[in-house]
Amino acid sequence: MVMTLHLDIVSVEEKIYSDLVEHLTVAGQEGGLGIFPGHTPLLTGIKPGEVIITKQGGEKDVFYISGGMLEVQPETATILADTVIRAEDIDQEAAKEAMEKAQANYDNKKKSKADFEKAYIELQEASAKLRAVRDLAKYLNKHSVD
C-alpha cells in the first residue's frame, strides 16, 4: 500500500483542495520542496509558482499559487495562499500577454526601483502561470499515452 499524507490547499476565499496525496512539490523561499508522507515538520514561505500534486494512483494535478505559507506535519500538509488557480482554469493566452507586458515593463530601464520591482514580481507570476499550464498539459499527455 502506498503511503499518503493529507493535503489542504486554502485561499483567502475557500478551501480549494483536500485529499490524500502521495507527494507534492512547491516553490519554497529557498528553493524547490518535495514533500512526502512522514516529512519532518516544517513551516515556510512559498513563492509564486506551481504546486504539483501526485494523487493516489499516480495521477498528477497542478495549481498556480500567488505565494503564501506551507505547513508540513508528518501526516498532513497545508498550503495557505492569497490566490490559488487550477492550471486547467488558467487562460493561457491571457497569461502569455501578461508575461509579454511584464517583460516589457521589466526591460524598461527608465522605471523607478519600485516600478522595476513590481514588474519583476509580475514577470514571476505570469511565468509561473504559464509553467503550470504547460506542466499540466505534459502530465495529461503522458497519462493519455500510458
Q: Which fold has domain 5-87?
A: ATP Synthase; domain 1 (2.60.15)
pLDDT at position 12: 84
Mean pLDDT of the chain: 82
The runs of H, that is alpha helices, within 26-112 are: 92-107
| DSSP H stretches of helix in the chain | 92-107, 113-145
Going from the C-alpha of 103 to that of each of 17, 47, 64, 111, the distances in angstroms are: 32, 19, 19, 13
Q: Please give the C-alpha separations between residue 7 and each of 1, 24, 109, 128, 131, in angstroms, as whole numbers.
A: 18, 9, 43, 21, 22
pTM of the model: 0.70
Residue 96's pLDDT is: 72
Q: Please state the domain extents for the chain.
A: 5-87, 89-145
